[in-house]
Every structure is written in structure tokens, then in C-alpha cells.
């Protein structure tokens, strides 16, 4: 690609979403981290407060929490499956929130890895500046986004006194 005017158009919404997804999904993952940290602690704090007030430990099993959403323990005809289901529904909600948060963090972490691997690539940019050929390597650039390459060069060499001679997309390991 040769860029005569050193101008570039804005990335499409999809390209910006992929590029910004690491930050966005990282923030969502951080939300799950707060859910892990504050959800169970908040529930245990509430239970301790009510215990201090009335001297009675108020159990808060998962079945009680889900009943507030009209979700009830399923009934089966298999005795062993029913015991397992009953055991799981009687676990503390704080423990359930912790597992939910961990599962969410793992899912978002896996999604970030997939985006990093399949939506981005490494790139080598060859350009001329002051009559000399130079090159730069960039990691995690949106695949085939020449606009982002130009933007990265503007970031690194803001005077714009350069001309791109070649963009080489490198295979990812």
C-alpha cells in the first residue's frame, strides 16, 4: 500500500469493536471480579448483621435466592440425582456467587484470548522517511486494517513526514 497523502478514514464499527473489545471485555471481567469479591462478602455481612441484631443465623441457601426469581428445585424420580440436586440447592448463595463470578471471569478471559488470536495479527510496516527506508513491527493489529497501521505510525512519528512502501501481515503463532 502506498499512502500518498498520509490520510486515513475512520475504522468501521466492527473494527473498532474488535480493537476496543479487549478493554471492554476486560472491564466486564473486572465486574465479575467485583462480584466475586463483594457479592459473597456483602451477603455474609448481611447475615452477620442480622445475627447480631436477633441472635439467629439466617441461612441463605441458593434455593431461597432462586425462589425470589420463581426458580425452584427440580424434582426427579431418581433418588441419587435428587440428593445431588438438593445438596447443590442448599449450598450458601455466597458460594454460588463466587463460582458464578469465577466462571464468568474464565469465559471472558477465554473470549479475550480468542479475539487476540483470530481477530488480530502482527504486522511489519516498511516506510521511507527523509529518503531512508525504515520499518517497524506492531503486535495485535486488527487483521488487514491498513487504517490502524497508519494510525500507529502517526502515533509513533507524529510529524507525518513518511511514506508507507509496504505492509506485511505476519503469521501468528
Look at residue 9 in the predicted model and tell me its pLDDT.
44
**28 pLDDT higher than 60:** yes
- How many other C-beta atoms lie within 10 A of the C-beta of residue 34? 10
Give the pLDDT band of residue 147 (cuts 50, 70, 90): confident
Please list the alpha-helical segments (H only) found in 9-92: 13-54, 62-67, 79-89
- Residue whose C-alpha is closest to residue 94's, from 27, 29, 45: 45
- Residue whose C-alpha is closest to residue 94's, from 36, 50, 55, 52: 36
Q: Which pLDDT tens digit goes with each residue over 46-71?
A: 889 999 999 998 888 999 999 999 99
Arithmetic mean of pLDDT over the chain: 82
**80 pLDDT higher than 90:** yes
Note whether 26 and 87 are within 8 A (CB). Answer: no
Q: Domains of the chain (ranges plus CATH)?
A: 22-117 (no CATH), 121-170 (3.10.20)
- How many other C-beta atoms lie within 10 A of the C-beta of residue 18? 18
Q: What is the mean pLDDT of residues 162-167?
A: 92
Residue 169, strand partner residues: 123
DSSP strand E in 33-173: where? 120-129, 132-142, 163-170
Amino acid at each position: 500500500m502506498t499512502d500518498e497523502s498520509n490520510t486515513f478514514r475512520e475504522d468501521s464499527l466492527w473494527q473498532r469493536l474488535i480493537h476496543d473489545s479487549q478493554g471492554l471485555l476486560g472491564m466486564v471481567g473486572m465486574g465479575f471480579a467485583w462480584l466475586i469479591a463483594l457479592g459473597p462478602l456483602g451477603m455474609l455481612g448481611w447475615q452477620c448483621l442480622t445475627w447480631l441484631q436477633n441472635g439467629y443465623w439466617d441461612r441463605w441457601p441458593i434455593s431461597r435466592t432462586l425462589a425470589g426469581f420463581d426458580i425452584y428445585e427440580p424434582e426427579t424420580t431418581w433418588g441419587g440425582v435428587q440428593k445431588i440436586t438438593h445438596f447443590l440447592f442448599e449450598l450458601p448463595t455466597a458460594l454460588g456467587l463466587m463460582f458464578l463470578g469465577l466462571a464468568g471471569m474464565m469465559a471472558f478471559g477465554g473470549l479475550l484470548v480468542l479475539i487476540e488470536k483470530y481477530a488480530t495479527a502482527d504486522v511489519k510496516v516498511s516506510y521511507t522517511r527523509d529518503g531512508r527506508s525504515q520499518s517497524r513491527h506492531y503486535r495485535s493489529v486488527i487483521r488487514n486494517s491498513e487504517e490502524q497501521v497508519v494510525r500507529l505510525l502517526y502515533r509513533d512519528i507524529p510529524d507525518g513526514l513518511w511514506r508507507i512502501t509496504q505492509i506485511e501481515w505476519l503469521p501468528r503463532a
